[in-house]
Every structure is written in structure tokens, then in C-alpha cells.
């Protein structure tokens, strides 16, 4: 029976349309497998998408850009993943959630599949712009030949992010055993906590 279910449900595909059934299948038969890989790739995509700095030296190479992002995703990215999941687990108890910490991490990791696919968008980004993609004041942004394809790529990035968010709410509600609205407020509550913590840290560091 176990083998039949695994063959029937391919989580890499079914997570898009059958999120509830898929996450139950993953929890039962895949467990923590792939969590670290998915968490790292998610952090990598987020860090790359957030990297836009016109203060880069014009002579900087792509290796100089990507290597620090890779290290950041492998360290701070994974730390942020587990910290966020831990807060989700604790705050979920306030909403009478039943998920274990492991199940929270599973829901977070697998719901990021659409976001992770955004890494393939870096192929056209680099083919069209190269390192110029990272420069806000690049002259290429003023060229319609490059601008419209870039806007389309960014639009796809946003769609994938929104899709991942929707899947996350569904998978979180499934493992927690409560409604999608409770899952939404569970994640929103954690987001507010982290935002407040970051503001306090910034105030402490720069308000001295």
C-alpha cells in the first residue's frame, strides 16, 4: 500500500494542484527528506531576487556576486528557515495547532516548489542582461528591447511567489489541523513578531 501511494502521487507535480493530499503523502512517506535542499534553494532564490545594488563595482564578476549569495543562503538562509519554522510551531499552539516541528518544516519546504522554479528564470536574466541585471542605473533598463522581457520575467517571479504562498497556507492548515484562515493568521503573527524583532535590532545597532 505504501509503495502504491508513493507511485500514485509525485509530490513535485501534485503539490501544485493537490496540496493537501500531497503534503499528507510527504509527511507519511518522505518525512524530512529533501527539507535541507529545498530550504537552501528557496533561500538562494530569495537572496538572488533581492540582490540589486547599483553600488557594485563595474568590474565585478558574476562569481563575485553569486558566491557570497550562495554562502549566505547556505548559512543565514537555513538559520532563518528553522527559526521561522520554530516560531510557527510555537505560535501555532496558540491557535490549537497539532503539527510537530518536523511537519511545520515539511510544509514550509515543499510549499516553496514554485518559488524554487524561479531559479530557472536566471537563465534568461543572465542571457539578456548579464551582470547589468544587478545595476539599478544600467542603461539597459532604458532600452525597450530589454525592458519588456525583464518586466515579464519579474512578473513570472511574482506569480511563482504568490503561488508558493497559497500552497504554504494550504499545507500549513493541513498539518496544523485547522482552517486556512487560521493558517494565514498563524503565519501573519510570526511575520509580525519577526518584523518587530528586526526593528528592535536595527534600533539597537543604529540608535546607539
pTM for the full predicted model: 0.86
pLDDT-flagged residues of the chain (< 50): 1-7
Q: What is the model's pLDDT at position 59?
A: 73
Q: pLDDT tens across 54-99, in order?
A: 556 767 788 888 899 999 999 999 999 999 999 999 999 988 899 9
| DSSP single-letter state for residue 95 | T
Q: What angle do CA 32, 37, 40 make, to 5 degrees?
A: 120
Closest-CA residue to 39 (of 88, 66, 74): 74
Q: Taking phi first (over 0 means left), then psi (-120 to 50 degrees means alpha), and beta for anything else, what does residue 31 get?
A: left
Q: What is the model's pLDDT at position 1?
A: 32
Q: What is the model's pLDDT at position 136?
A: 73
Q: What is the model's pLDDT at position 5?
A: 45
Q: What is the model's pLDDT at position 53?
A: 64
Q: What is the model's pLDDT at position 207?
A: 65
Q: What is the model's pLDDT at position 34?
A: 93
Q: Are 169 and 187 in contact (CB under 8 A)?
A: yes
Amino acid at each position: 500500500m505504501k509503495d502504491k501511494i508513493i507511485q500514485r502521487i509525485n509530490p513535485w507535480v501534485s503539490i501544485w494542484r493537490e496540496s493537501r493530499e500531497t503534503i499528507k503523502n510527504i509527511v507519511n512517506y518522505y518525512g524530512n527528506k529533501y527539507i535541507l535542499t529545498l530550504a537552501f534553494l528557496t533561500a538562494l532564490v530569495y537572496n538572488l531576487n533581492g540582490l540589486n545594488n547599483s553600488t557594485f563595482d563595474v568590474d565585478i564578476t558574476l562569481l563575485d556576486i553569486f558566491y557570497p549569495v550562495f554562502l549566505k543562503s547556505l548559512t543565514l538562509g537555513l538559520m532563518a528557515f528553522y527559526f521561522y519554522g520554530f516560531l510557527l510551531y510555537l505560535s501555532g499552539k496558540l491557535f490549537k495547532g497539532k503539527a510537530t516541528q518536523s511537519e511545520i518544516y515539511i510544509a514550509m519546504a515543499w510549499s516553496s516548489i514554485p518559488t524554487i522554479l524561479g531559479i530557472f528564470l536566471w537563465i534568461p536574466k543572465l542571457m539578456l542582461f548579464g551582470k547589468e541585471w544587478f545595476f539599478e542605473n544600467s542603461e539597459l533598463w532604458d532600452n525597450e528591447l530589454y525592458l519588456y522581457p525583464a518586466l515579464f520575467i519579474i512578473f513570472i517571479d511574482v506569480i511563482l511567489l504568490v503561488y508558493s504562498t497559497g500552497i504554504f497556507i494550504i499545507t500549513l492548515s493541513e498539518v496544523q489541523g485547522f482552517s486556512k484562515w487560521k493558517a494565514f493568521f498563524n503565519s501573519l503573527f510570526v511575520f509580525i513578531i519577526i518584523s518587530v524583532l528586526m526593528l528592535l535590532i536595527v534600533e539597537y545597532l543604529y540608535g546607539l
